[in-house]
Structure 1
Amino acid sequence: MQTKTKQILEQNQELRTKCLVYTRVMGYHRPVESFNIGKKGEHKQRIHFKEVKC
């Protein structure tokens, strides 16, 4: 990380909030942080794509 960016993050530490990432699993949404270690690794390997109109 760049030094300037790191300094800005440290100065604003108290303003930062935790971001929860949800993903769809078997028809419902679950937070990724609740996954076991194997499922978290699988989630990181997923390829993200944008669907285009026909």
Structure 2
Amino acid sequence: MNHTKQTKLPSPAAIVLDDAERQPCEIWTRVMGYHRPVSSFNTGKKGEFHERTCFTEASLSAGMH
């Protein structure tokens, strides 16, 4: 029998971080067959990235009847 004690973690809503405890998250995306960090994009390419919309193949094929 395994008698390990389980510790309950706080819910994500209960966790509060100061700005000093945070670290930046780098976003990467696939461009022309390779991956690049969005932070390296020029102003125009950053604008194009933020205008992108997400879709799923199922919803795309559903309208093709």
| TM-score for the superposition, normalised by structure 1 | 0.68
* Structure (1 or 2) with the larger CA radius of gyration: 2
* Percent identical residues: 53
Q: Choose from 23, 26, 36 the match for 1:20.
A: 26
Gaps of 5+ in 2: 1-15, 59-65
Higher relative contact order (CA 8 A, sep 6+): 1
Structure 1 unaligned segments of length 5 or more: list them.
Answer: 1-7
Runs of 4 or more, structure 1, over 3 Å off, are none
Matched, 1:30 2:50: no
Cα offsets for 1:3-49 (capped at 9, x unmatched):
xxxxx5xx611110000000001111000010000000000000012
